[in-house]
Amino acid sequence: MVGTTLIQIRNHIETLAADEGDFTIVCGRTGERPVPTAGLTFGDRATAENAVRAATQYRSALRRYDPQLPYYDLIVTQDGKERPTPARSWGSALDEGHIGAAAVGNPKEEGDRPERIEFCHSVAAAVFEALSNTGHRTVETAVMDAYFDLAETISSPDELCLRLLESMATELHAHLESAEQADVLARAASRLPTPPESADSLEATLGEMERLGLVGSYSCSSWTTNPDDGTKSADITLKEYALSARNGRLPALPVVLDLYRRRGPWKPISLHVTRADGEWRGRVAVSTESEGVGLASVPIHPGVPE
């Protein structure tokens, strides 16, 4: 399965990485640092070149299920300055846009959002790895089958990646118990790039969703503490949320996964959402006394959260 392959390659890349190394891997055309090397540094150029080859294999494996995965010309930089090796060219074997039969499709299409697309696929890859690592092969297969069905009718990479997140959230809810789902989400979050520290993780999460175009605009209250059980809660409002409701439920996978990534010991335990005046309103609660709750897809309630 693709999840197993991704885990093996990522583990290899992480063994090559070095804390505070001078070399990083970026796209030579955009400067972006895509998965699976985002946030990693390497001690010398030769090791970093090794990691480029492994990263290319990783993205090629991921492209087996999705030919629309964004293309990056991965190169090694030192101290943020590009220093390509002599034998490299844009069409060389290290340009992942030219890796055999798997590398098909158009890297960019009019109206698409490359960074949002890359984010969606980073989330998908992390969830695939987590599902494989926890032995949930049936769910992994269900997600891939749902995606293949979508890919037959949707040509836009941007729309397709959004539908991928929706179907992934739906399958996680349908096939996993709440505790199993929470475990998968926590594991997936640990595989995403570590975010910068923020005084308000909820504000940072929603700001990131807005920056990526997953939310048109948002508002959120400060956290309040429940004196009875020590949980914290906050109210949120989302306008122009890019994911659509399905069967009375709202796919919340990108928001919840980012909260797992930022909250540390505080795990999401509930997300109560309603629809009013064309926007989504909700109350999210977190706790240090719980391992978390499966919130990839949450029920839509009538009225205002109490």
pLDDT tens digit sequence for 214-253: 999 999 999 999 988 889 999 999 999 999 999 999 999 9
> What does the pLDDT read at residue 208?
93
Does residue 41 belong to any structural domain of this protein? yes
Alpha carbon 129 to its chain centroid, in Å, reads 12
Local structure of 81: helix, strand or coil: strand
- Plot region of 182 (φ>0 → left; ψ -120 to 50 → alpha; else → beta): alpha
**58 has a pLDDT exceeding 50:** yes
- Given a contact cutoff of 8 angstroms between Cβ atoms, the answer to whether 85 and 1 are in contact is no
Does residue 113 belong to any structural domain of this protein? yes
**Single-letter amino acid code for the residue at 172:** L
Does residue 193 belong to any structural domain of this protein? no
> What does the pLDDT read at residue 80?
53
Q: Tell me the per-residue pLDDT of 85-99, one tens digit each, with 9 for 90 and over.
A: 333 322 222 334 333
Does residue 258 belong to any structural domain of this protein? yes
Average pLDDT value for the chain: 82
Range of the domain at 51: 2-185
State the Cα–Cα distance between residues 201 and 181, nearest whole angstrom.
22
List the structure tokens of 142.
């269900």
State the Cα–Cα distance between residues 82 and 127, nearest whole angstrom.
32
Same structural domain, 171 and 260: no
**23 has a pLDDT exceeding 90:** yes
* Mean of pLDDT values over 105-118: 58
> What does the pLDDT read at residue 66?
64
Q: Tell me the per-residue pLDDT of 131-156, one tens digit each, with 9 for 90 and over.
A: 988 889 888 888 877 776 776 777 78
> What does the pLDDT read at residue 270?
94
Examine the fold and report which residue of 185, 219, 246 is the final residue of a domain before the chain moves on.
Answer: 185
List the structure tokens of 162.
């959004």
Choose the weakest-confidence range: 18-27, 78-87, 187-196, 284-293.
78-87
Beta bridge partners of 82: 77
What string of DSSP letters covers 196-232?
PP-S-HHHHHHHHHHHTTS-SEEEEPPPEE-TTT--E
Same structural domain, 168 and 265: no
CA torsion sign for 124, 8, 106, 152 is negative
State the Cα–Cα distance between residues 140 and 92, nearest whole angstrom.
33
Same structural domain, 106 and 233: no
Does residue 306 belong to any structural domain of this protein? no
Local structure of 108: helix, strand or coil: coil
Measured CA to CA in angstroms, residue 277 lies from 239, 274, 303, 304 at distances of 10, 10, 11, 12
> What does the pLDDT read at residue 264?
80
Does residue 83 belong to any structural domain of this protein? yes
State the Cα–Cα distance between residues 263 and 167, nearest whole angstrom.
25
Total domains, the chain: 2
State the Cα–Cα distance between residues 210 and 277, nearest whole angstrom.
19
Same structural domain, 109 and 210: no
Examine the fold and report which residue of 125, 152, 185 is the final residue of a domain before the chain moves on.
Answer: 185
Same structural domain, 295 and 263: yes
Beta bridge partners of 192: none
Same structural domain, 164 and 212: no
- Given a contact cutoff of 8 angstroms between Cβ atoms, the answer to whether 77 and 23 are in contact is yes
Same structural domain, 58 and 156: yes
